[in-house]
């Protein structure tokens, strides 16, 4: 029986996990849950590789994984079979057989992240698990102005978490949009979504960018300040990191 490489799209709520990547025993991770589900189905201990190593508390709408298996399970049955073994906050939504050379992380052309802010004088129990509650009214136009200089190929050292092991802090951001959505109930709140697509991201880079854009949105900094932070290349120049619950790995392009 031959070995097959399976590519799958996975969604998860990251609240109960210490990120995607497997960690020390006893700490639940998304990779660990997926590998346990495959083992329960096939008896194999495989390694699941993800396109992005999402942090603790970060969600995924379109995480992509791959793994190699000797199982004879038809590829179209993998989602249902795995979902029957996975916890309710993780789901495999699609699967396909791919060439053995495929790599979920290294072959990705870009990743799309969405960060959501619940901007309201009152909290939302509904949005709390998936957003950052910011009470102060945000100036979305100022945030858009501040975001514009970040698009392109730059050294993002100022937005990399301290202690990052990346060999280079140069990354390309293809697009960075700030969109707003009114409260459908007619209440005083609104959702502010920050969409960013790039060829790769440094550790906590998206959350650090969001923290600085919100600093501008609340009026504590001028839009031009974000470009000055970028050019300064020092993490201490930027705003504090935005919390993880607002971040979702939305899509991976190949």
pTM over 0.85: yes
Mean pLDDT of 45-67: 97
Cβ contact 92:37 at 8 Å: no
Under 8 Å CB-to-CB from 137, ≥6 apart: which residues? 119, 218
How many beta carbons lie within 10 A of that of residue 123, not counting itself? Answer: 13
Cβ contact 213:145 at 8 Å: no
- Look at strands 152-155 and 170-182 and give their pairing: antiparallel
Cβ contact 22:31 at 8 Å: yes
For the chain, which residues make up each domain, given as ranges?
A: 4-98, 110-253
Q: What confidence score (pLDDT) does residue 183 get? A: 85
Report the alpha-carbon distance of residue 53 to residue 63 in Å, rounded: 9
User: How many residues does the structure list for the chain?
Assistant: 254
Q: What is the CATH class of 110-253?
A: alpha beta
Q: Active-site residue 55, yes or no? A: yes
Q: Is the fold of 4-98 the same as that of 110-253?
A: yes
Alpha helices in the chain (DSSP H): 30-42, 78-83, 140-147, 205-217, 223-232
Question: Mind giving me the DSSP string for 100-114?
Answer: TT--TTTT--EEEEE
Q: What confidence score (pLDDT) does residue 164 get? A: 66
Catalytic residue among 36, 55, 100, 155: 55
Indicate the CATH number for domain 4-98: 3.30.70.580
Q: At what angle do helices 205-217 and 223-232 cross, to 10 degrees?
A: 150
Query: pLDDT tens digit string along 176-234?
Result: 999 999 987 788 899 999 999 999 999 999 999 999 999 999 999 999 999 999 999 99
Q: Does 37 score more than 90 pLDDT?
A: yes
Q: Does 241 score more than 80 pLDDT?
A: yes
Query: pLDDT tens digit string along 141-153?
Result: 999 999 999 999 9
């Amino acid at each position: 029986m031959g070995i097959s490489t399976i590519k799958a799209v996975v969604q998860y709520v990251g609240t109960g996990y210490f990120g995607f990547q497997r960690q020390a025993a006893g700490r639940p991770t998304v990779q660990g849950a997926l590998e346990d589900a495959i083992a329960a189905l096939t008896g194999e201990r495989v390694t699941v590789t993800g396109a992005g190593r999402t942090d603790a508390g970060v969600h995924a709408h379109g995480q992509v994984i791959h793994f190699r298996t000797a199982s004879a399970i038809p590829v179209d049955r993998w989602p249902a079979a795995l979902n029957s073994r996975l916890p309710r906050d993780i789901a495999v939504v699609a699967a396909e057989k791919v060439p053995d050379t495929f790599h979920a992380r290294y072959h990705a052309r870009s990743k799309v992240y969405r960060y959501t802010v619940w901007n309201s004088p009152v909290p939302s129990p509904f949005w709390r698990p998936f957003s950052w509650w910011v009470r102060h009214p945000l100036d979305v136009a100022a945030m858009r102005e501040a975001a514009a200089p970040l698009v392109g190929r730059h050294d993002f050292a100022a937005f990399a978490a301290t202690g990052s092991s990346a060999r280079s802090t140069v990354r390309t951001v293809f697009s960075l949009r700030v969109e707003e959505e009114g409260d459908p109930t007619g209440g005083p709140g609104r959702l502010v979504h920050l969409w960013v697509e790039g060829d790769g991201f440094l550790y906590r880079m998206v959350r650090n960018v969001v923290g600085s854009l919100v600093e501008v949105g609340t009026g504590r900094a001028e839009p031009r300040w974000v470009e000055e932070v970028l050019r300064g290349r020092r993490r201490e120049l930027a705003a504090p990191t935005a919390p993880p619950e607002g971040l979702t790995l939305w899509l991976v392009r190949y």
